[in-house]
């Protein structure tokens, strides 16, 4: 059983949950202040988040399995090697979709009504790389659903501060996904897949990534202002800025993996800690 859990955890890259979960929890922290018994819903919000993210990753692997098998960088993935049979992966994705729908139903009627649209978007993202160079923004949109969904779950609405937070997540994710796509420029061009690095070259794409991260940082500041956050949060933004600058320095040294995973995980957790401490 433990081996099976580990297999599915690796299949959906469960460790990458650290990118979006802190922003979901930020929305919970901020919305819970005026939402009464909001913390009673926290478990269902977490269940919705985990199941939606697992569904998105499973569908991405299922839909991209042919490309993964052809790409030397991804040829060791579970569906490409047969370590996980396709039918089992499909059953897992269906189970995740069912768990997400159940969680949405337990939260409120609006969440339940929106759940099919969320699932459809999470499938749609995997297709964007087949027809647009801006698939990086589509991925950012998928992760930005986390804080939006958390606020809808607690209050039944979306406020302007959370829209600013979602916008910052979109731009932040788009920037580091451009980093990641630089590894597959030759493969993408050969197979007809689209990405910004494949379309305009890595050097120009990295300038777009810098612009995206600059805009994301400015939106982090806007979010703090609109969200009523104070000195602790704004002081922490100096750390956020330093992390973003260091990411770009690492990428220019061709150290994409630590820039993609380690620093972005630290960044998201830093933002969560900043909001939490500021609220305390």
For residue 259, the 8-state DSSP code is: I
- Does the pLDDT of residue 15 top 90, yes or no? no
Of 163, 143, 172, 144, whose CA–CA distance to 241 is shortest?
Answer: 172
- Does the pLDDT of residue 49 top 90, yes or no? yes
CA of 177: how far to CAs of 44, 52, 170, 264, 280, in Å?
29, 20, 10, 11, 33
Q: What is the C-alpha separation between 106 and 217, in angstroms, rounded?
A: 35
pLDDT band of 8, cuts 50, 70, 90: confident
- State pLDDT tens for residues 51-84: 999 999 999 999 999 999 999 999 999 999 999 9
pLDDT band of 109, cuts 50, 70, 90: very high
Of 123, 126, 170, whose CA–CA distance to 148 is shortest?
Answer: 170
Please check whether the domain covering 2-279 is classified as CATH 1.10.357.140. yes
Mean of the per-residue pLDDT values of the chain? 93
For residue 151, with 0-12 CB atoms within 10 Å meaning exposed, 13-18 middle and 19 or more buried, which class applies? buried
CA of 172: how far to CAs of 53, 86, 167, 204, in Å?
18, 32, 9, 17
Rounded to the nearest 5 degrees, what angle is found at the Cα of 266, between the Cα atoms of 262 and 272? 150
pLDDT of residue 261: 78
What are the tokens at 217? 């940082």
Q: Which residue has the higher pLDDT, 14 or 266?
A: 266
Torsion angle, alpha carbons of 84, 86, 88, 90, to 10: 130
Give the number of other Cβ atoms within 10 Å of residue 51's Cβ.
20
pLDDT of residue 194: 95
Give the number of other Cβ atoms within 10 Å of residue 198's Cβ.
23
Give the number of other Cβ atoms within 10 Å of residue 41's Cβ.
22
pLDDT band of 12, cuts 50, 70, 90: confident
- State pLDDT tens for residues 177-226: 999 999 999 999 999 999 999 999 999 999 999 999 999 999 999 999 99
pLDDT of residue 178: 95
For helices 21-32 and 263-279, give the axis angle rounded to 10 degrees.
10
pLDDT of residue 5: 86
């Amino acid at each position: 059983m433990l081996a099976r859990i580990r297999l599915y955890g690796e299949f959906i890259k469960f460790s990458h949950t650290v990118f979006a979960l802190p922003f979901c929890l930020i929305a919970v922290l901020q919305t819970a202040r005026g939402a009464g018994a909001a913390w009673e819903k926290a478990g269902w919000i977490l269940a919705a988040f985990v199941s939606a993210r697992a569904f998105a990753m499973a569908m991405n692997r299922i839909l991209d399995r042919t490309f993964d098998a052809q790409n030397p960088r991804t040829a060791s993935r579970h569906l490409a090697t047969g370590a996980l049979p396709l039918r089992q992966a499909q059953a897992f994705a269906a189970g995740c979709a069912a768990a997400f729908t159940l969680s949405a139903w337990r939260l409120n009627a609006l969440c339940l009504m929106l759940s099919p649209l969320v699932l459809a978007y999470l499938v749609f993202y995997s297709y964007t790389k087949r027809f647009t160079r801006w698939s990086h923004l589509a991925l950012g949109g998928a992760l930005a659903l986390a804080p939006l969904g958390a606020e809808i779950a607690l209050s039944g609405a979306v406020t302007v501060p959370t829209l600013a937070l979602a916008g910052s997540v979109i731009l932040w994710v788009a920037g580091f996904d451009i980093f990641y796509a630089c590894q597959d420029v030759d493969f993408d061009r050969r197979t007809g897949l689209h990405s910004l690095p494949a379309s305009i070259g890595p050097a120009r794409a990295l300038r777009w990534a810098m612009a995206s991260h600059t805009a994301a940082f400015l939106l982090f500041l806007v979010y703090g202002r609109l969200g009523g956050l104070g000195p602790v949060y704004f002081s922490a933004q100096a750390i956020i800025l330093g992390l973003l600058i260091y990411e770009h320095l690492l990428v220019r040294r061709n150290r994409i993996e630590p820039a993609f995973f380690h620093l972005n995980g630290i960044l998201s957790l830093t933002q969560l800690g900043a909001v939490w401490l500021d609220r305390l």
